[in-house]
Amino acid sequence: MALAKKWSRKGHLAMNKIVTREYTINTHKCIQRVAFKKCAPGVLKWIQKSAMKKMETPDVHTDTSLSKAVWPKGISNVSHHVHLLLIRKCNEHEESHQLYTLVSHVPLTTLKNLQ
């Protein structure tokens, strides 16, 4: 019988690195078939869930600039695209997880021709 692997090759060493990434997220697709009073809170939860998946950390902190970018026209009129900066940082508290992700908004005039 073959022995089971204790960890995967992909995630074990890459998890300890401090990484910065930029993403443009289409928030319009996550508010389809959602009540209009739950649009902006649903977008913030969806951004946190996608940041948790992309940066592989269970602890996600959102910046106040992100909330202001999602809520500029109220609870139901959410902006359709949001440009984000995701930073994986080391946690200073001993009791919590080793790494956390900080999500902040990158202000842009236009979202066209991004690389």
| DSSP helix/strand/coil, 68 | helix
Which one has a higher pLDDT value, 4 or 99? Answer: 99
Output the CA torsion 106→112→113→115 (10° steps): 30
Distance CA 113, CA 115 (A): 7
Answer whether residue 114 is part of any domain. no
Q: Which domain holds residue 59?
A: 20-105
Mean pLDDT (whole number) for 6-16: 54
Residue 13 is assigned to a structural domain of this protein: no
Confirm whether 43 is domain-assigned: yes
Specify the 3-state DSSP secondary structure of 8: coil
* Range 43-53 average pLDDT: 95
pLDDT of residue 85: 96
Q: What CATH code is carried by the domain that includes residue 53?
A: 3.10.440.10
Q: How many domains does the chain have?
A: 1
Closest CA to 79 of 43, 37, 115: 43
Specify the pLDDT at position 41.
Answer: 94
pLDDT score at 96: 74
Residue 9 inside a domain? The answer is no
Length reported for the chain: 115
Q: What percent of the chain shows pLDDT beyond 70?
A: 85
Burial of residue 39 (CB within 10 Å: 0-12, 13-18, 19+) is buried
Q: What is the pTM of this model?
A: 0.80
Q: For residue 15, is it within any domain?
A: no
